[in-house]
Structure 1
Amino acid sequence: MKKTFRTWFWAVTTLFAVLAFTFATLAWFTANRAVQTNTATARTGDETLELQISSSGGSSFKSVETAQITQINQTNSEILLPVSTADLNSFVYAPFTKDGKASAFKKVDDEANYYHGRVYLRAEGEGWPEGSRMNLYLDQSDGLLGEAADGYLLNASRLGLIFNGDTSNPIILRLSESENPENAQIYNTEVNGKILGKNQVLGYNDSGVFAIEDPSVSISEYTIDFSENQMKLPSRALMNMELGKIYPVDIYFYLEGCDPDCSESIQLNEAELHLAFYGVLDQEGTN
């Protein structure tokens, strides 16, 4: 495992899910998809708590150290193109540009142009009061997120997560708070005669596309912090897990086409994206 438990950790456990991607972009990526995990068990007396990962759910759930992400896309996602979404339910793309502007859009069919995979998580524990639960967070303490990336690609990327199939509560994360230099940015998304700004994306309904505020938040809002031998929990948990229950985790990775950083500057960039989860016993649930 990559993190050493300290004596004051009380029933916490880590799971590292490592997603390795190599990208080949066309400004609006080739993916080597694998998840590597480490699970650790923490003990307090006779109590145990473990966060597990599997490539399959239901009766086929099998906790393993290395779990392959199951691709959900119905089409080949080896080459991914820029898309835009407000909710991870409907994605749109620009089939062409005119006079340098993207002003015509279509709904993405068969999940083409972006990556969608799935893994399954389970919190297992013994010796805890009935109803005990685990809170799930992200962990970047080992510097895993965006390793070996030059930044330009991550600036235009988004990581989307849906837990337990709850599409009404998607989590969309920005992987970088940096911006490309001005000469590597472009504002060319036009809706109803207006050019979208850097904090807007495209939503979709039966009437077509519409501009909406970018729903993505900094990944730090869900990331646990370790500093000065202390553990600081973020303001939000990704999910509150019932012990013994299997939760599907849908993972979306895409280029946000409305982001001005999604420009020709990221063509043929390469990066590795690593995602780590950290589970902590919900103290409120043990009272």
Structure 2
Amino acid sequence: MRAIPLCLLSGLLALPVQATEVQDWLRRLAEAERQQSFQGTFIYERNGSFSTHGIWHRVEEGGEVRERLLQLDGPAQEVLKVDGQAQCVSGALADQVSEEQAWPARHLDAEQLSNWYDIRVAGQSRVAGRSAVVLVLAPKDQHRYGFELHLDRATGLPLKSLLLNERGQLLERFQFTQFNTAIPDAAAMQPGSRCRPVHFRTVDTMAEGSWRSDWLPPGFTLNTAQLRRLPASDAKVAYLMYGDGLARFSVFLEPLQGNVVEDARSQLGPTVAVSRRMATEAGDVMVTVVGEIPLGTAERIALSMRAGVPEQASQ
């Protein structure tokens, strides 16, 4: 029998250990926000612009999760959430909240994500004075971005998150500068006087098959389909949200009703927006794709949108 070199054997044995470790860290990440109280200060960077935010996250005895976010520089922005649902908002965000909009903790499925990302533990780091493990999620195709997560060893919470394009260039950074697991007191959870109660916009269920995409990036599936009323009129906009378990993008389909508009494309940091005019039997529609996906992918999705049930959708 031919001997197996020790270096190769050790590599083979490390594969299941690595997979088990990845699954354990993703499980801890998914559970952490519903189990662990904390407070701190973090910076957010996008497109070369920085902002600083305070966060107070409190898990009540009955399991209810209350969270307050406050921007500490620039325009005044504040959000108070209960179980991921916005209760009051200040600043420009106040006019952008819909009935289904929330900021829930992502429940990451290692087995599902491994179909679209190469996931590995890349080492260790130190963030906000705390020991962290570095988890890398590298995309297997050109249709999604890569992530580098620095997870607190003690709690599993993300202390630092980097969003990277296909060339490894930074698109977005979230990073704590101060972090502790002290339970925020009641006074810290009280919003400021400018935090206005959220008035949810009306949304309606959309008929199944009203809209479809002839092409989607592998792994992306439809999560939400709604009809939303525009704030300035009674016109309804179809809203579709797709995700792969980590990345997400939205598609808006707005009847133009004779209005003349031009196709457009833009990108701010990781967020792209692509709009194109589409002719349908019921009249022209503006298709807009918005999300943290590559620009070329968003353009292909916009071009693939169709009205009605498909004869046979292609991948």
Please report the TM-score for the alignment, with normalisation by the length of structure 1: 0.23
Is the helix fraction higher in 1 or 2?
2
Is the strand fraction higher in 1 or 2?
2
Q: Pick 1 or 2: higher relative contact order, CA cutoff 8 A, min separation 6.
A: 1
Larger radius of gyration: 2
